[in-house]
Structure 1
Amino acid sequence: MNGGELYIRATGTWLPPVERVADAVADGRCDAAVARSTRMESVTVSAGEPAPEMAARAARTALERAAAEPGDIDLVLHASFYYQGFDLWAPASYVQRTAVGNQCPALEVRQVSNGGMAALDLAWAYLAADPARIAALVTTGDRFCPPGFDRWRSDPGTVYGDGGTALVVSRHSGFARVRSVATVSAPDLEGMHRGDDPFGPAPFSHRDVVDLEAHKRDFLARHGVAPTVARVAAAQESVVKQALADAGLGLADIDRFVLPHLGHRRLHVAYFAKFGIDPARSTWSWSRTIGHLGAGDPFAGLDHLITAGALGPGDTCLLFGVGAGFSWSCAVVEILNTPSWRDR
């Protein structure tokens, strides 16, 4: 549990236009069985905007909403899932240069889909370590595109969308208070996204296109389905229990749930049925029109609930994050007031 107070001053999201799943099925890009099992309606697809630029656009929105000056930001953390546009390059510095314009530490967090939540956890610890530190900017950005990634087939059960997200967090004030952030990991599951392939000397040494399902098949054949499912369930239950305990709340006290943008079958097994979450109290109805944003689902979901007026003063929200490794994060957020920028 982090020390001191942490508040959210502003959120920001930048998403490109959507493509309908039905159109992808009609032209053969998406399997009809995947469309049926995921129940996705559409996904956001970049027309060429690179991942770090989408993150920077979201950051500029969040910084403007927060009325934050460059000197207010003491840390920039950028999280991502997939390729950021250049080899041996620092996308966090790009976000800092184009959106913030200062010289504070700017670092990248590479924890795939849980990168955004992990960065929030780290930002809180960094700000709490020095009373002179005031605020941090956390961003995410991903573009899932050919030739290396097939948003429809690289990870059956999840359809991927493009976009950028951002949070400005502060030790002093904000429209929402982060009551807790908890993170747990299960490194014995890291092989699920590695499979039986040997380590490669360069990206895409073994396959031209990412195939997460092939790695999972290898791992489950070696370690078994039942033990793996039990390990995942235990870790997930642990992080939820820890986040709620640190916030002094129970699951029944939570008003809204920001869930990963997974397909319906995965969400039903891992969240709706497991925790008794009513889909109507989650971000599902919106996330099924966006797709999985890599590291950005929790921040995008929170931004959506705020701007849509679905969260008001006194409401609590539970943000979920999960990523290969495996790691899980949960954050409890309490809304203190309606942000002045909501209706702009």
Structure 2
Amino acid sequence: MRLGNGLGIRAVRTWLPPTVQTARDAVAHGRIDDEDVAAVGVTEVPVAEADSAPDMAVAAARAALTAAGWDGAGLGFTTHAWIHHQGHDFWSPAHYVAHRLGAARGVPLGIQVMCNGGGTALEAAAARLLADPATGRALVTTGDRFPDEGFDRWAGDYGVFYGDGATALLLHGRDDTVDEFTLLGVSSAAVSAAEGLHRGRDPFTPASRWISDRVDVKRTKKAFITDEGLDGFYRGVHAALRDIVTTALAEAGIETDDPRIRLLALPRVGVKVRRETYHPAVDGLTKARIVELGGRTGHLGAGDMTANLTAIGEQELLAPGEVAVAVSAGGGFGFTCAVVARPVRS
């Protein structure tokens, strides 16, 4: 997506619950073993004891709005993304978030495309601002919670530990005097032939969790790998990843060897998964250093990209004028790359 002179990320925030569970405790309780910990490389994950996923998204949004000095009533577009149960069976969490923030001017959009929801939501917000400048200000939120009743955050998937949390990003017309980042380019791609990794051999069912009491990602992945193998999956994914990175940079007017590209942030999945799925595609593609930012959160569902942007800002990993490349990915499979820069204040 060509963004012209770019859009402004006015503020980006991550909200995490104060309670954590450690990988060492999970090993002690027999939920995972030392080999799992080494393969994932995550030491702890945040765990929400009472807050719902949409309420965490509201908290993240309020933090972003406060940082920006904005009011929810001024938002012309809101979108909320998630991957897991939002607290009610037949309901729109996107409208709940908008309602709690007083964002009555725009029509909320809910996005459920697995873990690339945050990247897809960012692209949707950018498109809305470009198509209708009267929108003015847009909000992107994500929120996910993985309670034991429905999801085994430690052992329910291969190479991923899942943390609870939410993110929020405010997007508007570029203003280098106040923006935390400038969004210079966004590109997405899909490998829809790989949707079976999260379907496996399971039949279509009349209600959620019909086959097992808890979501079992390993069951569907094992069936898909047995039936289809992974060679085709890796070929498609690696091609898609290279395409979104090079396209987003090209649309931003930045060459892949530009020394301003300092960082490349990947989804907060395990070390082994990143090395097998992502590194073969992105290693050497730019001169950027690949940063590991999820060691104390694990995978935040739809929120990895936004959480990575928050961390880049909080840790001051970019100097003014420097560029970061953030990659989002999710089952389906879908991928989004955002190219952002730290503004140079005039």
Aligned sequence identity (%): 39
Query: Take 2:266 and 2:17, find their aligned partners in 1: how far apart are those partners?
Result: 21
Query: Take 2:3 and 2:109, find their aligned partners in 1: how far apart are those partners?
Result: 22
| Counterpart amino acid of residue 227 in structure 1 | G
Query: Take 1:3 and 1:320, find their aligned partners in 2: how far apart are those partners?
Result: 18
Asked if structure 1 preserves the Cα contact closer than 8 Å seen for 2:323 and 2:342, the reply is: yes
Post-superposition offset of 1:103: 3.4
Consecutive unaligned residues in structure 1, runs of 5 or more: 339-344
| Counterpart amino acid of residue 69 in structure 1 | D
Query: Take 1:190 and 1:214, find their aligned partners in 2: how far apart are those partners?
Result: 14
Asked if structure 2 preserves the Cα contact closer than 8 Å seen for 1:56 and 1:95, the reply is: yes
Structure 1 match to 2:137: 135
CA deviations 1:48-70 (Å, max 9, x no partner) are 21100111100000111111123
Return the match for 1:212 from 200, 211, 217: 217
CA deviations 1:72-119 (Å, max 9, x no partner) are 311010000100000111111111122244331111100111000000
Alignment of 1:43-54 (within 5 A): 43-54=45-56
Q: Point out the more displaced range, 288-297 or 253-262.
A: 253-262
Asked if structure 2 preserves the Cα contact closer than 8 Å seen for 1:2 and 1:125, the reply is: no
Query: Take 1:150 and 1:141, find their aligned partners in 2: how far apart are those partners?
Result: 17
Structure 1 match to 2:317: 310
Counterpart of 2:90 in 1: which secondary structure? coil
Query: Take 2:281 and 2:93, find their aligned partners in 1: how far apart are those partners?
Result: 37
Post-superposition offset of 1:3: 4.3
Return the match for 1:196 from 183, 201, 209: 201
Q: Point out the more displaced range, 228-237 or 314-323.
A: 228-237
Structure 2 match to 1:262: 269
Counterpart of 1:112 in 2: which secondary structure? coil
Query: Take 2:233 and 2:181, find their aligned partners in 1: how far apart are those partners?
Result: 36
CA RMSD, 1 decimal: 1.9
| Counterpart amino acid of residue 264 in structure 2 | F
CA deviations 1:258-311 (Å, max 9, x no partner) are 211111111222334542279x94441x31111100010111111111112222
Query: Take 2:279 and 2:235, find their aligned partners in 1: how far apart are those partners?
Result: 17
CA deviations 1:116-150 (Å, max 9, x no partner) are 00000011111111121211000000001122100
Counterpart of 2:196 in 1: which secondary structure? helix
Alignment of 1:128-277 (within 5 A): 128-173=130-175, 174-253=179-258, 254-276=261-283
Query: Take 1:265 and 1:325, find their aligned partners in 2: how far apart are those partners?
Result: 20
Cα separation, partners in 2 of 1:246 and 1:165, compared to 1, 3 Å = same
TM-score by length of structure 1 reads 0.93
Structure 2 match to 1:94: 96
Cα separation, partners in 2 of 1:275 and 1:131, compared to 1, 3 Å = closer
CA deviations 1:9-58 (Å, max 9, x no partner) are 00111101322111111111223221121121111111121100111100
Post-superposition offset of 1:208: 1.4
Asked if structure 2 preserves the Cα contact closer than 8 Å seen for 1:134 and 1:172, the reply is: no
Asked if structure 2 preserves the Cα contact closer than 8 Å seen for 1:314 and 1:336, the reply is: yes
Query: Take 1:146 and 1:271, find their aligned partners in 2: how far apart are those partners?
Result: 29
Structure 2 match to 1:80: 82
Structure 2 match to 1:301: 308
Structure 1 match to 2:61: 59
Post-superposition offset of 1:158: 0.5
Moved over 6 A (4+): none
Counterpart of 1:6 in 2: which secondary structure? strand
| Counterpart amino acid of residue 55 in structure 2 | E
Counterpart of 2:119 in 1: which secondary structure? helix
Asked if structure 1 preserves the Cα contact closer than 8 Å seen for 2:174 and 2:182, the reply is: no
Query: Take 1:244 and 1:172, find their aligned partners in 2: how far apart are those partners?
Result: 18
Post-superposition offset of 1:193: 0.6
Post-superposition offset of 1:209: 1.5
Return the match for 1:328 from 315, 318, 335: 335
Query: Take 2:102 and 2:167, find their aligned partners in 1: how far apart are those partners?
Result: 15
Query: Take 1:190 and 1:250, find their aligned partners in 2: how far apart are those partners?
Result: 32
Post-superposition offset of 1:220: 2.2
Query: Take 1:120 and 1:101, find their aligned partners in 2: how far apart are those partners?
Result: 18
Asked if structure 2 preserves the Cα contact closer than 8 Å seen for 1:182 and 1:242, the reply is: yes
Structure 1 match to 2:109: 107
Q: Point out the more displaced range, 226-235 or 35-44.
A: 226-235
Structure 1 match to 2:13: 12
